[in-house]
């Protein structure tokens, strides 16, 4: 890094908030994937104006800028693949306002998701998006990736709750998109342009989010199936039956065994699959929904359906779901997390395809995730040091993407495109759609300095 530039950056944030040593920078060279690339330096700004000043200097000197929250992403989105400056947002971590009259919150991007959820809950309101990484991830990262979560099946995902944003553009200018009015029709919805943009169009510095009422009551159930095919059929049948669960999660046999070995909480390890189901609403409606769910599960050959009798019992079931990733991570050294997603009616076909691909390439693959959204999270358990196996993994991932798209689905239901899926994005968008995306990027970031190498910045590195 040019010393004159470095001196200017130090003058903005102070020496204590710039990391230049190799050991420090190395900690910012990766996210939750297995790719890594070193930044030239890391800056920890404490305000919007500091971020704007940093971006002005980077723009004037053609230095790439990568925004980073907690680096829980699963697509390489926060990895500085072309070096440059990493802007870490975790000092901007305040919940600025929770408005109980107009049902909105204003929050800074580095706020940990769980801290924000707790502040909203304390105010007696509800913010539904709840990614599995909520104890670590940041709100800014959730917006950059357009994160989902178990509640998405009924309540929607992050983009459904973003009212407006404050954004520092690549050249350091500052814009506000949207406002606190839900239903603003004053021109195109620029806010949505930034939901899922993965830091490629600017740095988000303030966020306005919509809130809703807490449900009066809820009930959790676990349906057990001898065959995962019956569980998959149950999902598509239930979603077509008129009752939309709050959550509808699936775990296959290998996942069940891994979690039970991890937690020892009494999961049915002989089951082919389980569905974790929650319904909510007013108490009378919840009771009706429970009966409806029981009927659908039984009609689809469920071996049993267990209704949680206490909040503690329900919490245990959701703890099991939240523990899937660490539990499966213990089975093999490397866990490749994919989130190709299909329409709900095509879930049985996707389940069959995942099983066939695992068999074809002789790979250990687990199925779990937001079945109600069609997101089965096929995870490949492998060893990144085994080159021959990783070659098979790469072929399997390509086939997973091909099948999902053939079934009318998408490459990503919530993890984003980032670096890892960028070579495949044109498969989904088509050539003209891909060109349109590049044109938008070029209009906002003509020097291609914001998180280069991601999304519409095509490359042909198909390594997982």
* 420 lies in some domain: no
- Same domain for 235 and 163? no
Query: For the domain that residue 390 is a member of, what is the CATH number?
Result: 3.30.70.2740
> In CATH, what number is assigned to the domain containing residue 60?
3.30.43.10
Residue 194 lies in a domain: yes
Task: Give the Cα separation of 111 and 95 in Å (integer).
Answer: 7
Tally of domains within the chain: 4
Question: What's the token pair of residue 139?
Answer: 């709100």
Does residue 456 fall inside a structural domain?
no
Using 50, 70 and 90 to split pLDDT, how confident is the model at 157?
A: very high
127 and 196 housed in the same domain = yes
- Strands 247-252 and 368-369: what pairing? antiparallel
Q: Are 301 and 320 members of one domain?
A: yes
Q: Burial letters for 154-180: b for 16+ Cβ neighbours within 10 Å, e otherwise?
A: bbebbbebbbbbbbbbbbbebeebbeb
Q: Is residue 433 part of a domain?
A: no
Verify that 103 and 209 share a domain, yes or no. Answer: yes
Asked whether the predicted pLDDT for residue 437 surpasses 90, the reply is: yes
203 and 156, same domain (yes or no): yes
Burial class (CB in 10 A: 0-12, 13-18, 19+), 30: middle
Q: 441 in a domain, yes or no?
A: no
Give me the mean pLDDT over the 81-105 stretch.
98
Going by pLDDT thresholds of 50, 70 and 90, the confidence category of residue 158 is very high
Which residues partner with 203 through β-bridges? 168
* Last residue within a domain, chosen from 280, 305, 326: 326
CATH code, 206: 3.30.465.10
pLDDT, tens only, 353-395:
999 999 999 999 999 999 999 999 999 999 999 999 999 999 9
Average pLDDT of span 333-351: 93
From 153, 183, 213, give the residue that closes a domain: 213
Q: How far apart are CA 454 and CA 140, in angstroms?
A: 17
For residues 110 and 72, membership in a common domain is answered with no
pLDDT at 29 over 90: yes
Residue 186: C-alpha distances to residues 102, 166, 379 (Å): 20, 17, 42
**Tens digit of pLDDT for each residue in 168-213?**
999 999 999 999 988 778 889 999 999 999 999 999 999 999 999 9
> What 8-state DSSP symbol labels residue 33?
S
DSSP tag of 20: -
Taking only the tens place, the pLDDT of each residue in 203-243 is 999 999 999 999 999 999 999 999 999 999 999 999 999 88
103 and 203 share a domain? yes
Burial class (CB in 10 A: 0-12, 13-18, 19+), 21: exposed
pLDDT of residue 361: 98
Structural domain contains residue 255: yes
Together in a domain, 84 and 109: no
**Which CATH number goes with the domain that contains 293?**
3.30.70.2190
pLDDT for residue 392:
97
Say whether both 83 and 105 belong to one domain. Answer: no
* pLDDT band at residue 34 using 50, 70 and 90 as cut-offs: confident
Q: For residue 446, is it within any domain?
A: no
Its domain, for residue 190, covers 95-213
Output the average pLDDT for the chain: 96
Residue 460 lies in a domain: no
Least-confidence region, from 61-65, 122-126, 136-140, 183-187:
183-187
- Using 50, 70 and 90 to split pLDDT, how confident is the model at 459? confident
Domain final residue pick, 180, 213, 246 = 213
pLDDT at 460: 83
Do 206 and 188 lie in a common domain? Answer: yes
Beta bridge partners of 86: 42, 66
How close are the terminal C-alpha atoms of the chain, in Å?
Answer: 30
**Average of pLDDT values for 82-102?**
98
User: How do 65-68 and 41-43 pair as beta strands?
Assistant: unpaired
206 in the same domain as 111: yes
Q: How far apart are CA 264 and CA 131, in angstroms?
A: 24
Same domain, 208 and 225: no
């Amino acid at each position: 890094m040019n010393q004159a530039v470095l001196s200017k950056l130090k003058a903005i944030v102070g020496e204590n908030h710039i990391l230049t040593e190799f050991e420090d920078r190395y900690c910012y060279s990766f996210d939750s994937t297995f790719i890594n690339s070193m930044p030239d330096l890391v800056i920890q700004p404490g305000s919007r104006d500091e971020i704007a000043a940093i971006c002005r200097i980077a723009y004037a000197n053609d230095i790439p800028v990568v925004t980073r929250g907690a680096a829980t992403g699963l697509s390489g989105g926060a990895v500085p693949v072309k070096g440059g400056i990493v802007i870490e947002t975790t000092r901007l971590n305040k919940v600025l306002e929770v408005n109980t009259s107009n049902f909105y919150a204003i929050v800074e991007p580095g706020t940990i998701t769980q801290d924000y959820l707790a502040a909203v809950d304390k105010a007696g309101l509800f913010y539904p998006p709840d990614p599995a990484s909520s104890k670590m991830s940041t709100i800014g990262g959730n917006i950059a990736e357009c994160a989902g979560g178990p509640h998405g099946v009924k309540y929607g995902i992050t983009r459904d709750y973003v009212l407006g944003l404050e954004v520092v553009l690549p050249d350091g200018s500052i814009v506000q998109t949207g406002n606190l009015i839900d239903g603003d029709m004053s021109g195109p919805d620029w806010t949505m342009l930034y939901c899922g943009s993965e830091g490629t169009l600017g740095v988000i510095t303030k966020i306005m989010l919509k809130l809703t009422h807490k449900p009066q009551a809820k009930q959790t159930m676990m349906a057990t199936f001898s065959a995962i095919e019956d569980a998959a059929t149950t999902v598509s049948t239930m979603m077509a039956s008129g009752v939309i669960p709050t959550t509808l999660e699936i775990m296959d046999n290998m996942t069940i065994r891994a979690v039970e070995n991890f937690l020892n909480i009494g999961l049915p390890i002989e089951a082919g699959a389980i569905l974790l189901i929650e319904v909510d609403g007013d108490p009378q409606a919840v009771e009706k929904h429970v009966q409806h769910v029981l009927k659908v599960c039984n009609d689809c050959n469920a071996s049993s359906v267990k209704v949680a009798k206490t909040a503690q019992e329900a919490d245990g079931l959701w703890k099991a779901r939240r523990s899937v990733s660490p539990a499966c991570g213990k089975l093999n050294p490397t866990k490749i997390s994919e989130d190709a997603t299909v329409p709900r009616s095509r879930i049985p076909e996707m389940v069959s395809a995942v099983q066939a691909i695992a068999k074809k390439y002789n790979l250990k693959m687990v199925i779990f995730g937001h079945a109600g959204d069609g997101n089965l999270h096929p995870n490949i358990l492998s060893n990144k040091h085994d080159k021959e196996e990783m070659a098979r993994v790469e072929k399997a991932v390509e086939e997973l993407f091909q099948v999902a798209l053939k079934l009318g689905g998408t490459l990503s239901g919530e993890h984003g495109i980032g670096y890892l899926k960028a070579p495949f994005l044109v498969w989904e968008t088509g050539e003209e759609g891909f060109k349109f995306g590049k044109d938008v990027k070029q209009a906002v970031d003509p020097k291609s300095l914001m998180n280069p190498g991601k999304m519409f910045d095509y490359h042909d590195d198909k390594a997982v």
